[in-house]
Amino acid sequence: MVETVIKGVSIEGVVTVVPSDIVTFEDDASRLNINTSQAKRIKDSIGLSERRVIKKGITALDLGEKACKELIKGLKNNADDIGFLIFVTQTPDHSQPCNAAILQSRLGFDSSVGSMDINLGCSGYIYGLFTAASMAKSLDRDILLVVGDTLSTIVNPLDRSTAILFGDAASATLLSNKDGEQMFFDMSTDGSGYESIIVPAGGARMPQTEFTSKENKDDDGNIRSPNDLKMIGGDVFNFAVRTEPIAVKKLLDYSKILETDIDFFFFHQANKYILRTIARRLNLPKDKVPDSIITKYGNQSSASIPCVINESLQANKSSLVLLSGFGVGLSWASMICRLELKYCPSPITWDQNNE
């Protein structure tokens, strides 16, 4: 574990944008031939109801651009104060150049604004906040952090283990220097479990070919090709409920902050069963662990934590929060900070039909 504190940096605002198109759990269950009783058990346990998905031709970059423009407008900040742009995504427009470089141009930023992508998923918001906070401190400039994925585009619609889970979204967060603030971080990785969440083909190790496009059915009846996202759900569940309680306790010990002083625990919204298991093992009150995002929007990868912040917090209200993400890598990361956001609207729906 890497534990550290960054002083003198605050989060000024958060915006999350979700697409307007909705796929209901009933739609997914019908397509996958999941019988009524089994569908009810899955829906009740995991908390699925509907998810938001992009239209063809829309990408995480487009969602991120919408979120950035809304954030800058809402904060009434001078865009000239932004010194660096970070984009955390696993579904970039291109293998190169990075999304951040394209977005830097779309936002009309000066060429002095640096940009880079970070390839991470469900823990990516915390890793991104750590990187952004470090840059804000060293550069003495505002840092714009964008996180977002369109995982609905890389799952096989006939894969029961993934097709029912993922929704699309992107979030923008602005970090600024502010005296008196503290951010406590903890970050960890166990790369031995990398195959638990993986897209086997499409990189240098296994380029996409006609062969990698061929679909196969596994022993559980899931249909996918090597081009599709593969997730071993049991492995991911065991990883999450094993590592998260330990990580949260260690960060609380490191920060010397009492669990009872935390107003909200914002975990990655993987599914309700995982979140409730983690909360139970930590003996956390239910009202301190929001878990409605998976029901409304699906698993949004790196955008799920900022989305639940937008869903739960009001602007200009101070809250001491613990944020924690876990997933692909396998990786996990947590942070504690005080949020008194100047701009924090409810998740914004982008009507793709009017574009």
Give the residue numbers marked as catalytic. 122, 268, 299
Q: For helices 36-46 and 272-281, give the axis angle rounded to 10 degrees.
A: 40
CA distances, 52 to each of 23, 49, 128, 247, 286 (Å): 6, 11, 23, 30, 25
**CA dihedral for 241, 243, 248, 249, sign (positive or negative):** positive
Residue 109 is encoded by which pair of tokens?
């930023």
Tokens 């880079």 correspond to 116
Give the residue among 260, 266, 263 at the shortest CA–CA distance from 244. 266
- Give all strands (DSSP E) within 107-196, no chain letters: 114-118, 142-149, 169-189
CA distance 159 to 228: 9
- Give all strands (DSSP E) within the chain, no chain letters: 2-19, 21-24, 50-53, 82-88, 114-118, 142-149, 169-189, 197-198, 216-217, 223-224, 230-231, 264-267, 319-327, 331-339, 348-350
Q: Report H helices in 140-269.
A: 233-255
